[in-house]
Amino acid sequence: MLNQKTFEQQHKQTWAELDECLTALEATRLFRKRKTDSAHHLPTLYANLCQHHAIALSRGYSHTLVDTLHAQINRAHHQLYRYQGNWLARTMRFIGGGFAAAVRKEAKLFGIACLLFFGTALVAGSFAAYSEDIAELILGGRTKFNIEQMYEPNTFDIRPANMEDASSFYMFGFYIANNIGIDFRVFASGIVFGIGSVFFLLLNGVSIGAAAGHLSAIGYVDTFWGFVAGHSAPELLALCISGTAGLMLGRALISPGQQSRALALLRNAQAAVPLVLGAGLMTLVAAFIEAYWSPLEFALPIKVAVGLLIWVVFGAYLLFAGRAK
Amino acid sequence: MLQFAVAGPLVRGWAWIVDVIIRFCLLMLIVFLFSDLLSNQEAELFIAGILIIVQFVLAWLYTSLYEGLTGATPGKKMFGLKVIHENATPLTGSGAVIRNFLRAIDGLPVLNAVGLICMLIDNRFRRIGDLAAGTVVVYQDKRPHHSAEKAAQATSPPASLTKEDRQAIVDFAERSIFLSKDRQLELANLLKHHMKDESDPVATLKGWADWIMGGQYNAQSKDI
């Protein structure tokens, strides 16, 4: 049997070559192009190294050698299997249609999420519009008072005078943190057998619907609908999409199909990521519109027309973007 | 077979605390940098807007971005931890998003209680986010280095050594720099009765190690 020193002597060069190759690969960063000519040797070197490790292990060479080889294998493994792609191109592909395609793939769950949200919104809105008592019951006295104050036509301007820019930016930040945070939570809470997502969709549907119904009934149509028309499409669709992502987690646990629950969860979570990230981006767009367009004072028909146009744009995007030609 | 040492709740807790502190300091730094600008209400609103956005990014994206790009948050790096997938491949971007967004559940109700309970139940210390993302938190490899002291001279060991015996003797030599002289002697004395020359058991043992590493080991050795 070959002794350890001779073995090390024999393979010293392979190991040094691999080390050099790995060091070069590890130096590559996000924006720096890899400049390694030896990279294409990596698979061969890796295979050799694995063999050396197995030999060292079976012959009972020292733990130091075995551990060193094992550490090198891990390094090489990491380089071999890490994601290597142009992240910018990947992002563009995602926005350009990958996201819409991912949503369409879950059209059924998306339909359920929309039904949960818009359905309850419609019901709650009708009841709230029908009777002010019901509106107060749903919204709570304080919230009802607050939104009445907020959309009071005579005093309506959410931005303090002379500070429009700063105020818009502050609200932009607030909408980002609050609304995208809600999207992410709606997704995460889906892990509880989907119950969390359903709950949040219903909760938001009821409160938004009741507010809309009540404010319409007391005649604050211009201020309320004029304000929300612009950003309603991306914000509400994003909420339903993150709800869909949450329902996917729930589905994996409730009806995993022909696979274990653990595997179903893994796959569904993986497939839900584009929906969550896309919903986040949509809500970012919504926050921008809400902060910089929605407070502007235009006549209601213009506001509503623009709002409808945005609905059409997002609807068309979700329906048609990223379809195979 | 690739092997990893899985990181337990305690060290991950420390890493988490470090990350919390880092994020808190970053936020404070921004407050500090802008504090001179707090001259009027308008500037205040601007800064409040920036702070809200930064706070959101730190809360939701800090961990995902760090882990997605480098495999570990600064806190994890400090404790020599990294996140990998269960098939030992590096953490992917979507894996990072899943395991970190589900912190919203793992973090409930306070101080990651749900995540901790889940980790204690699971045999690989995975919290809910890890289960959904198919990830484990492991110790980063420490690069071992050869550290065997050169023995004065290689001497042939007894012939009846098994593979494990030989490995133990070499390990002794390689690790002896981490052991005190007394401990070395104590260990070497255990094999004293196998040695021809009992005057310096440590040196003899290191001589054996040297022989095993480099000398041709064969059954013809006459020493017993």
Element (H, E) at B98: helix B93-101
CA A175 to chain centre: 16
Summary mean pLDDT of chain B: 84
CA distance B198 to chain A (A): 25
Predicted local distance difference test score (pLDDT) of residue B74: 94
Predicted local distance difference test score (pLDDT) of residue B26: 92
Predicted local distance difference test score (pLDDT) of residue A144: 85
CA distance A196 to chain B (A): 10
Q: What is the pLDDT of residues B171-207, one digit of tens each?
A: 888 888 888 888 888 888 888 777 777 778 888 888 8
Q: Indicate which of A184, A195, A281 best probes the interface with B, i.e. most B CBs within 10 Å of its own CB.
A: A184
Predicted local distance difference test score (pLDDT) of residue A38: 66
Question: Between these two residues, A320 and A157, which has the higher pLDDT value?
Answer: A320
Q: Which chain B residue's Cα is nearest to A270?
A: B94
Q: Do B94 and A273 touch (CB under 8 A)?
A: yes
Q: Which of residues 132-151 of B touch A (CB under 8 A)?
A: 132-134, 141-148
B160 falls in which pLDDT band (50, 70, 90)? confident
State the DSSP string of A27-59.
T--SSSPP--SGGGGHHHHHHHHHHHHHHHHHH
Predicted local distance difference test score (pLDDT) of residue B218: 41
- The number of beta carbons lying within 10 Å of the beta carbon of residue B195 is 20
Of A30, A62, A177, the CB nearest to B167: A62
B215 falls in which pLDDT band (50, 70, 90)? low
Coil, helix or strand for B224? coil
CA distance A77 to chain B (A): 7
Q: What is the pLDDT of residues A114-167, one digit of tens each?
A: 999 999 999 999 998 888 888 888 888 788 888 888 888 777 665 555 667 778
Of B44, B167, B217, the CB nearest to A63: B167
B115, B129, B136: which is closest to B6 by C-alpha?
A: B136
**A24-33, B31-40, B209-218 — most confident range:** B31-40
ipTM of the complex: 0.86
Greatest Cα pair distance in chain A? 95
Q: What is the pLDDT of residues B14-57, one digit of tens each?
A: 999 999 999 999 999 988 888 777 677 777 888 888 899 999 99
Four-residue CA torsion sign, B114, B116, B120, B126: positive
Q: Do A180 and B42 touch (CB under 8 A)?
A: no
